Amino acid sequence: MSQSILILAGDDYEDLELQYPRLRLREAGLRPLLVGMTAGATHRGKHGYPCVTDLGLADVDPQDHAGILLPGGWMPDKLRRVPAILDFVRHFDRAGKLVASICHGGWIAISAGVVKGRRYTGSPGIKDDLVNAGAQFEDSEVVVDGHHVSSRKPDDLPAFVVAMLGVVAG
């Protein structure tokens, strides 16, 4: 069985930041799984593209997965308030597994308390939040710091996914 990567899903995700990595991860032989509050829930992206969650948070053991992807959009501002989601991110960080965020997805990593002392990037709109959380902000298409991978925007997706695959491959 191939390694699985959890992709966080909820209402108002940034369509490209969820769908593009999902397809590229599958293409690379990994199993991208959409995880949300409940399994089988339909969520619409900011631009209306739907996705259906494969798993609900309560049904997932993070030990069984190689990493987590935090897409951007307006979704992260809502989901960063859910303690179980923050616990998931902390688990992947403590285990040294992939923690990937793009654009506003970094808000979830900030709220989970896993960016302090790390090099990070994200949307310019969260630069101050990253800096105030103790991250060293870099305005680059992709930043890899150990098992953390971050990017700024949809245009950065090709480099972002290549970096994610590199971390998962070890």
DSSP per residue, 5-30: EEEE--TTB-HHHHHHHHHHHHHTT-
Which of these, 127, 104, 110, lies nearest to 46 by C-alpha position?
104
Task: Point out the catalytic residue in the list 43, 104, 147, 148.
Answer: 104
Residue 148 is among the residues annotated as catalytic for this protein: no
Helix 157-169 / helix 15-27 crossing angle, nearest 10 deg:
40
SS3 138: coil
Active-site residues, by number, are 104
